[in-house]
Chains A and B, each alone.
Chain A
Amino acid sequence: MAMHRMSRRRLLGAATAAAAGAAVGPWVRKAQAQSGPIKIGLVLPYTGVYAVLGESITQAMELVFARENWTVAGRKIEMVKEDDEMKPPVGVRKTEKLIDSDKVDILTGPVHSGILMGMRDKVHDSKTILIVSNAGADAISRERCSKWIFRTSFSNWQPCQPMGGWVAKNVAKDVFQIAPNYQAGKDMMAAFRETFLPAGGKVVAEDYPKLGETDYAPYLTKIRQSGAKAVFAFFSGSDAVNFVKQYDQFGLKQSTRLTGAGFLVEPDVLPAQGASALGVLSGHFYTPLLDNTVNQRFVKDFREKFGGKMPDGFACQGYDTAEVIVRALKAVNGNTRDKAKLVEVIEKLEFDSPRGRFRFDGKTHNVIQPYIYVREVKEVPGGLNNVVIDRVANVTDPGTGCTLPA
């Protein structure tokens, strides 16, 4: 009998403790989480042709976090890096891992527009804050925009739309368009035409070689035969090196001016292109030669930390992504639980970035480019670089079809 009573009391006690634990448990866990590290997820390419882009973005983020001693509002900052291999299925899987099992507080990346489009619904439905640090798919600022998604880099439209009118006015009216055969390439060529055609320009012909093409000879022969006075091109990574070098080898530089989206001649490809890139005109929101003080310090610190490497536009994007994160977390005092509050804070952020005054467009959550610079590749002290020859202010994506909060 005594035995029985004992065990019943024990049982009751255990049950009470368990119930209390169940009630208190989640709260305790959450409180612990808030004092634990803030996890920042990165979905970027760390292998393959675009590994250098992922590297630049990551390095610049590390530079900013290191400046803050990897701590914000008393909480440690922890980066969780995942290699998306530039493959949409891999990128989506890594996104799910970061959200579901790592439970990151803020997600950043990717480079590939296809991966961005693939991860969009997962991010939106799980109410995860995503700060896009490269992928330019126009749709993410338009019909596929989301309250939870911000973009510090660019929409594909932004560096190209101002170039159309500029090329028609200052370079030539007969233009051949060429870009890799995927969404970003098509987006950029269309954006260029928006201002090029009304300014009296004529697209003589257009071509879309496959991504990762190594031999552009057939296209270069077509450009020569087309009688175009200028070319507007978008290529990136090894494609940009091969295209610009072969363009020069075919002797086209003398007859046909090469212009394009800035990625064509970024510091990640310029050393390999060498003298072949001289004189190329391109539109971009950044060049390491900008003379504002934030940029000068950024270039100096970046080169010191990473063995003399010149920061490129990708590094500027990484810098701004980390800067947004640090400033937003400070504003909410490290509280990452209230996501809606965090979104409100990010929307209103404004600061001096290496590219100029940084702010988001409240309508689309896409960055308003303080300037799109028209740059020319020239020999300057320290090697080849993009020298600003003209600029267009406050370039804002039209955001057609986006209604926030969505």
Chain B
Amino acid sequence: MAFAPDFFAQALNGLAYGVLLFLLSVGLTLIFGMLDVVNLAHGSFYMLGAYAGLTLIGATGSFWIALLLAPLLVGGIGALLERVCLRPLYGRPPLDQVLLTFGFIYLFEDLVKWIWGGRIRSIPPPDLFKGSVTLFGATIPSYRLFVIAFGLAVAVLLWLLIERTRLGAIIRAGVFDAEMTAGLGINIHRVFTAVFAFGAALGGLSGVIAGPIQSAYPAMGAGILIPALIVVVVGGLGSLKGSLAGSLIIGQAETFGKAWLPDSAMLIIYVVMALVVLLRPQGLFGRPLK
């Protein structure tokens, strides 16, 4: 019976990968939901997070301090980007914003090369999670178990923030109708900047978390954009629940695809996306299209 532990091991792999996808895509979906901006430079925040993490670990010797500070730094860059470059474009056609954020991919890639060089770098896992553990016959690196726990905790905290706090209520209102929210006397511009910065910080956070599993190199941001967009489309644009569900589904589909149908593994996630778009064009948890 090699099948059962094999199945369990791959399901764990899929869960770890899915949670990573969630951390990666949740900032993207949040920004889209609130600002109606498809931020193609989201991968750059992921990359900046990884590189900032690298430098902070080098300076402080602690993965945990880097995990705390790198997202703040990236969030600050996000706030600046929104305030200076994006805000003047809000009245303009969406294509202008897409072009702007697309341009920033190259700008940030060159910036990273300029500061850190083109060499491939890597972030060591924290000492606490260096080895691997065997659970019911399935061996998995302990760091991946940490990623699963951490990612799910982030999901719960985000849910509490958005569903249970005043700020969350403002964000939900803004997602539903930004103009009406502004009409209620809320400084919507400040909320926009805050949400964009928060989304950027989440992108940065995913970069630090992914660091010990993947490596850091200047083209890394462009590579994760497609999987993140697929997750957002499957889950529903702007939906937190959708982002989590989409990530977990795509994580499992891709992992089992690679394990059982290696020649068509990539095809499978596109098939999943196509099916969702056909049956529910707004995504699993998206608002119905007008």
Contacts and interface: CB of A to CB of B under 8 A. Distances in A.
B166 to A, nearest CB: 38
B119 A207 contact: no
Nearest to A86: B219
Contact of A215 (B2, B140, B213): B213
Contacts of A221: 6, 9-10, 13, 138-139, 259
B51 interface: no
B139 A251 contact: yes
Contacts of B161: none
B120 A268 contact: yes
Contacts of A52: 118-120
Interface in B232-256: 255-256
B132 A251 contact: yes
Given A221-B9, A245-B122, A274-B122, A208 B262 contact: yes
A249 B118 contact: no
B45 interface: no
A241 B120 contact: yes
A250 interface: yes
B214 to A, nearest CB: 5
A206 to B, nearest CB: 9
A26 interface: no
A280 to B, nearest CB: 16
B115 to A, nearest CB: 15
Contacts of B223: 212, 214
B122 A219 contact: no
Most B Cβ at <10 Å: residue of A217, A222, A245: A217
Contacts of B125: 249
Contacts of A214: 213-214, 223-224
B215 A241 contact: yes
Interface in B118-159: 118-122, 124-125, 131-132, 138-141, 143-144
Interface string B106-122: 00010000000011111
A142 B57 CA distance: 50
Interface residues of A, number: 35
A268 B120 CA distance: 8
Contact of A219 (B119, B141, B258): B258
B255 A271 contact: no
Contacts of B262: 207-209
B258 to A, nearest CB: 4
B253 to A, nearest CB: 11
Interface in B7-46: 9-10, 13-14, 16-17, 20
Nearest to A206: B262
Contact of B215 (A207, A222, A224, A238): A238
Contact of A272 (B121, B141, B265): B121
A185 interface: no
A272 B219 contact: no
Contacts of A242: 213-215
A271 B119 contact: yes
A210 interface: yes
A308 B2 CA distance: 50
By Cβ-Cβ distance, the 5 closest A-B pairs, closest first, are: A251-B132, A217-B13, A249-B141, A218-B258, A241-B215
Given A214-B223, A217-B140, A249-B132, 14 more contacts: A51-B218, A209-B262, A215-B20, A217-B13, A217-B144, A218-B255, A224-B139, A237-B217, A241-B120, A242-B215, A251-B141, A272-B122, A272-B215, A274-B124
